[in-house]
Structure formats: C-alpha cells, structure tokens
Chain A
C-alpha cells in the first residue's frame, strides 16, 4: 500500500464535495496552480519487439553487415543511407524528422537496453516490462502506477492518462488512471463537456468508489469540454498527419498544453514484429518508423515551451536477433534500443553499453546482449519527472546504478 493513498484522500474530498462543502473538484485548483510548472512523463510502447539494430544501426560495427546481408542499412552519405550519429551508430533514415532534436540535444539514445532474465515471448516480455518485476508474474500492479502512487502533489482528472482503449498493465494499480481511445471519444452523446444528468446521479451514489470516480469522470468531461480539448489545434505549425500514433500523441499534447495537470501519459503502437520482409530504408519497418518519427517531431514542435518539462521514453519488449533469418526478417531477440526525448534530456549521445555483434559478444550467440537494464532508463525518467526518491518502491529488487543519460 502506498504511504499516501490518493484514493482515501479523494474519498473524503469526494464526500465533502457531494455534501456541497467543497465547491467543485479539489483537483482543479491544484492542477491550475501547478500545471504551469508541472512536468510530464510520456511513455510510448512499441509492441511486437522493435528491431533496435535497424532503428539505430551500428554501421561502424564490422559485424553488422555480416549479420544482416540483405537488411543492413547503407552507410551514411550513400543513397538511402542511415543518418550519422557518431562513429559507430546511425539513425534509420525514416527517422530523419528526429535529427533536429538530436542536434539540439533533446534526443538521447540508449542502445542495448533490455530486461534481465530474457524471455523471448512477447507476452511475457511485455508483462515483465510493464509490471517492472522481470521473472515475477504475480505482481498485481504496474510499475508506472506504483510510481504515480509515490509522486507527490498534483491531482486532477487528467493526471494519468492512457491514450489507448484499455488501461495498459503498467498503469494498473491503486492510483486512478483514465484510459481513452481518444479525446474525441471521451464524451457523452450530449456533446463535449455534457454529462447529461449523470453528474448529479453520481454525486448521490451510495458506493464510495463510484461516487469518487463519478466526480473524477464528470470533472474530466467538463475540463475536456470547457477547454475544448478535442478541438485544440496544433501550435507552431506542427503537422501530425493521420497515423494512429500521431493522433494519440496529438491528444497527449492537447492535455499538456491546456494545463489540465497531466503528469503521466502512455500510448502504444503495434506492427514491430518483423519476422518476414522487414525492409531497409523502405519497407515494413521503415513505414512504422516514418509514422513514429513524424509523430514525435510534431509532438515536440507542438509543445513549444512545454517541451522543456516533458520527457518521452520510447521502448519495446525486446530486440531482435542479430542475424537476419531466412525470410529477410528477424526473430525475437534480447536487447533493443530506447529513445529518450525532451527538454531536460542530455541527449545528442548514444549510451547504454553496446558491446557489438561479434559472435563472442552476442547473448546466447544470437542476440545483442543487454548493456543497460530497461528499468534504469525508466527509473531515471520517472524520478526526474515525478520527483521520486526510492527506486525500490517502484522497481522492487532493483537498484539503479550510475545515471544512464544523466
């Protein structure tokens, strides 16, 4: 149990509000006062096992081309070549929209990130990434919910939001979180902001949890409606396009920019399980990266000054085999790449302890070996954005070592 139970707190606040003792939702005032300086953590989960070796190809590793005879990206400078990052690494050309962020230091890359106790099952790997307890399946809640429980201060209907149809495993737990397919769908038939008579019905609910959630819900609906959140146009000329991940990040940006107190946002994106016909500078993986890169670049641009308070972590459940398979694709592997973006990131660097693709450097002679524990990167981001102290409360049994990106 969390030392500070927000549920408990809200229950009493909710009870007071229902009696008319507190006008409106307590969170609104708090959100309004703190939103301007509040930080936001955004997590983008690439489901399917994204190929870190093509996203940030180690073009300077002589073993890379040997392992990927048809899938290796061309060297920087060549036609369709990868984009040079440093002497070893380059960026997939479909991620070109991210190069300005790399140059201004707000994109950092952790290569060879993975969870120990490797499992090559999507299912289990995602479960462990989200519970934050690799190898331990009985963990009931998600790491990010545990983090939120321990974060102080902010409150509000849109404090924790998953822009996807169901609450992801990482957000399951005692701290309330909203899951919604989109801001546009988060409304009742009466129109944006309308709650019919349901707000009054729920204010009278006998069941405390329902009454509390009702208050949160109708407050959120009102906020979404009064701020016309779903209609908020992008600023600074940001162009999101129509990819699902772009539309979702646009909703996250709307929540951040409108100052409703967003502290944590999560979304996900599928299509990374490239067993067959992965492609190089064009093709299957490239199309996914075009969507992702375009979405992240538009997001950064849209946020403008708020980019400084935002940190985005892009992760996946595992990487893929070092060598390509017989179908011009790659199979389930171990370590992959994580992208960390935002104003506070000391980026422009590839870190993480990449060891190489030589036979002796590989894990079980097939996968890129883990150089950095995924939890170290997640903890660093959560600690900074949510002002947390104790990693063991969020990731039991894990002690973070030296900073990854600082």
Chain B
C-alpha cells in the first residue's frame, strides 16, 4: 500500500468549491442522473401518458394524500394542492420522468456539499484517513488511547477534511432531497433501490465509495431496465468491496503478498438470494459457487486510493461453468459475469421477487399474490423495464384499495421527513436530525447486513424507538431540532376548532371523538381564567402531540 505523501496531498479548500469551475463539475455530476436540468416544463404540459387508474370513491384530498404517502415522503401542503390540481394520474406520470421536473432549489442547496460530486479517488485524497495524515506528518500514535489519538489528530486535520464529512454530506443530502425535492418519487426509489442493493459505509473502504455508488449505480438507473441497474451495481467498487468479490480469485492462486487465495462466495450468494432470484428462487449451492467462479477477477484498482473497477485476468477462473442449467463456455473472461447478469435479470424468479418487494414497499406489507403476479408479468413482458413495472403497481386496484390506505408503519426516515413536510418545513440535514434517526434505529448508509433495512413494519415498532419518535415530534414542534425548521400553524379560534383544523392539516383525517378529547385535555383547553378568558392553545404542544400520535406513524 502506498503512503499518502502530504506533499502531494491536494489541499482542499471548501471555499474554492464554490468557484464556478467546481460548480460546473457539480452540475455535470448531477446532469448524468438528470438530463434536462433547467429546461423543465410546467407539470401539465409535458410528461408521459397519464396512468389509467381504477375508479375510487375517495375524495380528491384522500387520493392525493395516499399518493403522497407512497410515492413521496408524505403530504406537504403544497404537494397536496398540486396533486389535487393535476389529478393523481397526471401527477404520477409526471413523477415517472423526473429529469423533466425542475429541481433547481435542491440543486442550489446541494452545491454546499462538495463531496457529492467527487469520485472515490478524489474522496480518498480530500478526506484522507486521519491516521495516514498523522503518519505522513510524523505524529506518533502508538500506545495512545482512542481519546488521546482523537485529540492529537484534531490538531492536524481540519474537521471538514475528516472522512466522516463524506458520510455527513451524503446523509444531509439525502434528507434535504427527501424533504424538499420536487422529484419525490425518484427519492423514494433511491431509498428502495439503495436498500435493495445495500452496502454499508461502515465496512472499510466503502466509506469513500458509498457516495459515488448512490450517484453512479443507483440514481442513474432508477427508470431504465433492471439489467442496467443490476449491471451498474455489479460493476461498482462499493458492492465489490462490500461483498468481498474483489478478494475472490480462482482456487489456489498464489499472490506475492497475500499468499494463497481462492474463491469467495459472498457476492455470488447475495446476487442470487438478495439481488435477483430471492431465497426461494430455485438455485442451489452449486449455482452459488459457479456464479462466484464467473465473477472471479471482477476487482478494484487500489481500493484504498483509486477505488475504480478493474478486471484482473490472472484472478479469473477460466474454466467453463454451469449456472442455473445454462452452460457458460470457457474463455470468455470478464464476459462470464455479464452472462450471469443476463440470465438473472430476466429470470421469472427475479421478476416475482422484485415485484413482491416493490409491492411491499409501495402497497402493503403482505401484498396479495395476484398483484405480485400481475406486476411480475409486466416486468417479464417488458424485459425488466422499471418504469413500466412501477406503472403497473400504481394502476393496480390493490394500490387504490381501502386495505392499502395508512397500512404501512413509517420507517424512521419516512417518519422524520414526513413530519417536516407535513408542516411545510425544511431541513439542512444537521446533526440533531441525524441523531434522531440513529436513536430510532435507522442510521442512514450504515445498515450492516446485505439485506438492508426491513421493508415491513414490525422491526420499526419497539418501545425505545417509539419514545424516540415521540420525543422527535415534540422537539421538532418546539423548534429544538437545530437546522430543521417548521412553521407552526395558527392557533386562532376556539380550542376544538383549532385542534380539528390542525389535525386535518397534519393527519389529513378527522380525529376520533376520544382522541380529540384526549388532545384537548392535554392542552388544558377547558381551563378558564378567572376573568373568563380562555387559555390560548400551545401550538408546539398540539403539533408535538399530533406528530407523536399513532395516526402519524402510519402511511
């Protein structure tokens, strides 16, 4: 491993990132995922064919709220108005082509985060391991406690150059986008597909790869074919590192420094089990091994410096393989892996597995088999066209069924962001918001297992997390979440009217008689001053109660 020589270390000045040149790089970085930036049309004039939605008896507000609960991070006052004005069919069609949606506000705010547009090599250079800097500067860390080491390092590395800054900016960007992006459906898809193809920033060098991973592998392929998305993930160093494929070689290869190496099945197994076929998708242990053999040599050039994809012919197992009954002839080298991805991307098991998972995310925890079958058929018929697959989901009667409404418990991310949005607020994705997510059990980009975060409700519902949710609602409403601001609704009027009005605005449904009484009592609404004057309702307390209420935990 080469040492980082400080002499050659690019000295990074955050101010210069706001330089026009850097802005160009940034724009370019964004433009890869969103061609057409800045030339967005008004919502109604352009966009895909409106969806054919089944007839429902819900009010237009109820329809808008349901759509925003699933294709967005919850209803915000402006988005409810917009969906109602456009109608859900046109709004969804509009969201299915996010490149045409003007999102200048978000892009402007993300310009504050230079790391978002950097390659892994740049990230490693600008945010070096503190220990390497210390080494290069001749600071001895031996025998020191972690606290003492931190103190030493604080003196030589600027806080904004610490590796943790990369993660902090990525998390902040995710929160800002989820809260204020007009491309709301795109943001829910980033959540879904990142989670489907999870990598954890906590695993070694992934820390410097995760930001490029989200940008290049996930965001860039949300609306294409599943094969494109799968391929981008398979090639990405973040995945190659996270699931160890970069260490996997043909059996008994002797490498100068590492000694004898061999096959690592980690990626091969997860590719079949988690990314494509599903655990019951009809593959065997032999298939896992054969798939792993096909991917030998798919590696990373200097994981701790360049972090770029590289094929290593010497590490590749050149023999013939047999995957799911299909012969992969000898001698195709790196193409072996592509053949496997071709096989898997259009496999019926993959279609069903992906259809079911999408239905779990966007419809309900236990989707009806008929829905899964219908969506899977669209996936197969269109060669894994993701946009067509999403359309099938949203055109389904199951999506528009009473059983689907408010049927899912929000994840911590969905809960916190939807709370800010419900009040028409905004966030900078600062530490308090991040800590709140950690306390609720969803530290972003740090899901340890390859399964990612659970897609269903049960794991999110536990007492510690519930206390954290209630606490978050109260703090947010009382303005104690630094960097995240929400305007409080007006409290003018008779107490019961105020409670009803505020509950409608936040929960979009009337309060039950008993709940209403509980809320009024908690607010001391019945107390009357000696001169007959009534106490003005505490807006922060009312909003806190509503955000912490069970009705706000579901979507």
A residues sitting closer than 8 Å to B (CB atoms) are 121-124, 126-127, 137-138, 140, 157, 162, 165-167, 169, 172, 174, 176-181, 186-189, 196-198, 200-202, 204-207, 209-211, 213-214, 216-217, 220-221, 271, 276-277, 279, 282-284, 287, 328
Contact = CB atoms under 8 A, between A and B. Distances in A.
A177 B462 CA distance: 7
B457 A209 contact: yes
Contacts of A202: 550
B202 A123 contact: yes
A209 B458 contact: yes
**Secondary structure type dominating chain B contacts:** helix
A186 B464 contact: yes
A397 to B, nearest CB: 14
A157 B467 CA distance: 13
A138 B451 CA distance: 8
Contacts of B532: none
A52 B186 CA distance: 49
B299 interface: no
B466 A217 contact: yes
Contact of A221 (B144, B467, B519, B550): B467
Nearest to A275: B131
Contact of B512 (A121, A172, A204): A204
Contacts of B464: 162, 167, 178-180, 186
B499 interface: no
B522 A197 contact: yes
A276 B134 CA distance: 13
Interface in B97-153: 131, 141-146
Nearest to A366: B259
Interface stretch (B217-225, B368-376, B435-443): B435-443
Contacts of B146: 271, 284
A137 B270 contact: yes
B145 A189 contact: no
B441 A166 contact: yes
B467 A188 contact: yes
A137 B450 CA distance: 8
Given A137-B269, A201-B545, A209-B457, A196 B550 contact: no
Given A138-B279, A188-B471, A214-B550, A197 B462 contact: no
A165 B409 contact: no
A209 B461 contact: yes
Given A166-B443, A277-B142, A201 B518 contact: yes
A126 B200 CA distance: 14
9 contacts: A165-B441, A169-B448, A178-B462, A180-B464, A210-B554, A276-B142, A283-B144, A284-B144, A287-B145
Nearest to A173: B459
B162 interface: no
Given A180-B464, A284-B144, A207 B554 contact: yes
A197 B448 contact: no
Contact of B467 (A186, A204, A211): A186
Contact of A284 (B145, B244, B451, B512): B145
B439 A210 contact: no
A181 B441 CA distance: 11
B534 interface: no
Contacts of A122: 203
A181 B468 CA distance: 10
A198 B470 contact: yes
B48 interface: no
Contact of A188 (B439, B465, B470, B514): B470
Contact of B143 (A180, A210, A221, A282): A282
B515 interface: yes
A137 B243 CA distance: 11
A11 to B, nearest CB: 12
A10 to B, nearest CB: 12
Contact of A179 (B131, B273, B465, B554): B465
- Pick the 7 closest A-B CB pairs, nearest first: A277-B142, A197-B522, A205-B550, A217-B463, A283-B143, A179-B464, A200-B518
A166 B438 contact: yes
Most buried by A among B142, B461, B467: B467
B553 interface: yes
B520 to A, nearest CB: 10
B550 A138 contact: no
Nearest to B274: A138
Contact of B471 (A189, A277, A282, A284): A189
A122 B203 CA distance: 8
